[in-house]
Amino acid sequence: MTDELPLAKALNAGLRKALADDPKVLLMGEDIGPLGGVFRVTEGLQAEFGERRVFDTPLAESGIIGTAIGLAFRGYRPVCEIQFDGFIFPGFDQITSQLAKMTSRHEGRVTMPVVIRVPYGGHIGAVEHHQESPEAYFAHTPGLRVVSPSTPNDAYWMIQEAIASNDPVMFFEPKSRYWNKGPVDFSASPSPLHSSRVVRTGTEVTVVGHGAMVNVLMQAAELAKHEGTSIEVIDLRSLSPIDYAPIIASVQKTGRLVVASEAPGSVSISAEIAATVTERAFYSLEAPVLRVSSFDTPFPPAKLETVFLPDADRILEAVDRALAY
């Protein structure tokens, strides 16, 4: 069965399925109960599953993560919501110093099936601390899995796969895409959680991104088509680990790669991809790997976000530079 759903509703459906399938799954976070969360992703779930399985927490991110670690020790599978990306840092120590290391610390005898949902990214006209892209901090941390869906279908399936994982998963949700509709196939077999995917085929340049950036890349590819340029688009889906096989295969075909992200470019996931592709596919490259990112500054006031965030024009400018070599 297939239905058209916004990404937020697809996540809601995926969480509902996980709650129904496993009584050990719990949802916890600020205002996720009767309110249904700031973005209404958990709307209706407390009424359906009760206050013992979907519950509000104090405004204390460190406490949320610490409680989830304790619940995981007792055999539960907690799913934490961080209300906005910029609010995750009070819980950063619990995530990187405790949650990520717990299984290694116990030589594999302890699992940490904890999912941390993080609405992230710009394009919503919000204030400081509400439009960050902090995913590189967590992809850099051994012991954490980091993923980000770009479509409602991926959101539905990936949240269930993340909850089923025995490792902690940072689940970054592109908040600017929450209300964009797309088909959700409830009967299909999902792609593996940590797999990248070619979402548009092309022959001249490969462009790679994740989350909301995938839609921007698709816009750029459509504009380039009208100018006679063929662009292949790859959705990363997983940021740690990264599935490089489709990326390398595409670069071997096109000879050029542009990596795009809303996050600042220095010491970023984009930089890691550029370095790895250069190592693994150097002799296939006909131009340097180019990166398009936000600037290495704090996120600006909302009126300047369209200047700060990469758009289709900046992607196409990089494509033109790659083709000029």
Residues labelled as active-site residues: 130
| Contact between 305 and 262 (Cβ < 8 Å) | no
- Find the largest Cα–Cα distance for the chain: 60
- Tell me the residue type at 122: G
- How far, in Å, CA of 195 to CA of 173, rounded? 17
Hey, how many other C-beta atoms are within 10 angstroms of the C-beta on 97? 11
Residue 201 backbone zone (phi > 0: left; psi -120 to 50: alpha; other: beta): beta
- How far, in Å, CA of 280 to CA of 287, rounded? 15
Hey, how many other C-beta atoms are within 10 angstroms of the C-beta on 55? 14
Place of tokens 């892209």: 133
List the beta bridge partners of residue 200.
233
- Tell me the residue type at 245: A
- How far, in Å, CA of 115 to CA of 69, rounded? 10
| Contact between 201 and 245 (Cβ < 8 Å) | no
- How far, in Å, CA of 137 to CA of 211, rounded? 16
- How far, in Å, CA of 205 to CA of 251, rounded? 8
- Give me the numbers of helices (H) and strands (E) for the chain, helices first please: 12, 14
- How far, in Å, CA of 253 to CA of 16, rounded? 41
